[in-house]
Amino acid sequence: MLNITITETYDEMSALAAQYVVRALHEKPELVMALPTGGTPVGMLAEMCHLARVGAADFSRAFSFNIDEYIALAKDDPQSYYRFLAHHFYQHVGIPTANTFVPDVLADSLSAECDRYERAIQNHGDFDITVLGIGHDGHIGFNEPQSTHSPVCHVIDLNDETIAANARFFSRQADVPRQAITLGIGTILRSKAIVLIASGHSKAAVMKQLHDCTRIDPLFPASFLLLHSNVTLICDSEAASLI
């Protein structure tokens, strides 16, 4: 069973997740991080910014990789996941831009770009810490439920549920990209530590399923986390309400 910590509030969940990252940063200033996007990590990223501002965390030698990115949004598109991390994190903590990575979703050959991104991660010695969110269908990164999975970075077609869930960030559902590049589940599992955060009633069912899960099911991608020996789930009381 996966190790779970339940906090009373979203803010406590965020602070605890930030502490995991910052503790790892203290051990290794050249920390290699994979960071999530979406609604859930906003508080954690704000706390990491706060810790940097008060001098309790120095990200100037750290490296950060996006877990996923929409095809084919430019890096500076307001909806791009790179822009999300730049806006919520990079521009506040003095991490050098050269240390921040995202797949080039405008590349001529997306499969060659996936190979390049995977190699860039390996060349950095793989992730020291990966922070994940979770989709309502159990997706991690953009690894959607399906019968087979590419273990490495790849292009994925987003399913209707994911498109609908992410439509809240766009003015129209029709604007949500239909494809993305995501880290593979194997890429994620090579991370030395994994922290998964979840918040709110809408995540209660998926967190119960993850908490109770004892078998790997490709139709429930988060179940692959059972293969890793250093996973911490952190969720607030609403997301834990069915556990």
Q: Which residues bind ligand GLP (CB under 6 A)?
A: 36-40, 67-68, 133-135, 141-142, 162, 166
Q: CB nearer to ligand GLP: give 118 or 144.
A: 144
CB of 29 to ligand GLP, least distance (A): 26
Q: State which residue has the least CB distance to ligand GLP.
A: 133
Task: Indicate left, alpha or beta for 217 from its phi (over 0: left) and psi (-120 to 50: alpha).
Answer: beta
Q: CB nearer to ligand GLP: give 24 or 85.
A: 85
Task: Indicate left, alpha or beta for 176 from its phi (over 0: left) and psi (-120 to 50: alpha).
Answer: beta
CB of 35 to ligand GLP, least distance (A): 10
* Cα(86)–Cα(197) distance, integer angstroms: 20
Q: Which two tokens stand for residue 43?
A: 């508080």
Q: CB nearer to ligand GLP: give 58 or 149.
A: 149
CB of 70 to ligand GLP, least distance (A): 9
Tell me the CA distances in angstroms from 91 to 2, 49, 74, 142, one per residue in order. Answer: 34, 9, 18, 25
CB of 53 to ligand GLP, least distance (A): 24
Q: CB nearer to ligand GLP: give 36 or 103.
A: 36
CB of 169 to ligand GLP, least distance (A): 8
Q: CB nearer to ligand GLP: give 26 or 136.
A: 136
